[in-house]
Amino acid sequence: MSARLIGVGTGPGDPELLTLKAVRALAEAEVVAHFAKAGRCGNARATVEGFMRPGVVELRLAYPVTIEVGWREPAYAAAIGGFFEEAAAAVEAHLEAGRSVAVLSEGDPLFYGSYMHLHVRLAPRWPVEVIPGVTAMSGGWSQAGLPLAQGDDVLTVLPGTLPEGELARRLGDSAASVIMKVGRNLPAIRRALAAAGKLGRAVYVERATMAQTFSVPLAEKADDRAPYFSLVLVPGWEARR
């Protein structure tokens, strides 16, 4: 292969939910890059463990800080500011040496993925391929066996970091909703669902398709603890006919 950036969607966590194309990219790429929190192995890297080519060069891109704050907050912008520039430069050094670089991305690369920060910096200058992946939300509703949207349903994807009033308004205005970035926002999300009259339909899903996965009607879930990457699903298609 020659210099080439490949955004590789690794899906929601179950290694069997890798696509054939993602597996081929892992077998062929000379460098595999992946984002991770400091001191942790990222979910995408864990997902592909059984598909790493022996001897492949790994490039670990370690976030300088937690990302569990809204990305529009000044504290986040200040902390993360130079990181994506440095990460893009590290990837580009391999491209300049003529290597193909696969960048792992949980779920789908261009759907809220960190890969996007490399893509916008490097795609204007280098050959790029993006391999779509199964999103975490698809993994969630499939595991819960929850028909999410049908026919003329409007579906809205909402960050749980939105203000409670805005969450309630948007939940009430959509047939189906997916709430991401749950974590510490769970109590506010629960109140917004109640205000929109949708609490009884909501399903909580944690670590969809992974080994320690768990799903339950939100009404039966306590507010005590929820990982940042858990989801709340509100199905549409009330008629179900």
Which residues are at the interface with its own copies (CB under 8 A)? 7, 9, 11-12, 14-21, 23-24, 70-72, 84, 108-112, 116-117, 119-120, 123, 128, 130-135, 138-139, 141-143, 145-159, 161-162, 170, 174, 209, 237, 240-241
Cβ atoms of 60 and 66 closer than 8 Å: no
Q: Which is nearer to its own copies, 211 or 222 (CB)?
A: 211
Cβ atoms of 34 and 45 closer than 8 Å: yes
Q: Which is nearer to its own copies, 39 or 214 (CB)?
A: 214
What's the closest the beta carbon of residue 98 comes to its own copies, in angstroms? 22
What's the closest the beta carbon of residue 41 comes to its own copies, in angstroms? 21
The type of residue at 42 is G
Q: Which is nearer to its own copies, 92 or 108 (CB)?
A: 108
What's the closest the beta carbon of residue 222 comes to its own copies, in angstroms? 26
Q: Which is nearer to its own copies, 11 or 42 (CB)?
A: 11
What's the closest the beta carbon of residue 213 comes to its own copies, in angstroms? 13
Residues for the chain: how many in total?
Answer: 241
Q: Which is nearer to its own copies, 97 or 154 (CB)?
A: 154
What's the closest the beta carbon of residue 20 comes to its own copies, in angstroms? 5
Distance CA 72, CA 76 (A): 7
Residue 196 CB neighbour total at 10 angstroms: 20
For the chain, what is the largest distance between any 2 Cα atoms, rounded to a whole number of angstroms?
57
Q: Closest Cα to residue 43, out of 88, 10, 7, 66?
A: 10
Q: Closest Cα to residue 183, out of 224, 145, 214?
A: 224
What's the closest the beta carbon of residue 153 comes to its own copies, in angstroms? 7
Q: Which is nearer to its own copies, 64 or 97 (CB)?
A: 64
Cβ atoms of 38 and 11 closer than 8 Å: no
DSSP codes of every residue in 183-199: GGGHHHHHHHHHHTT-G
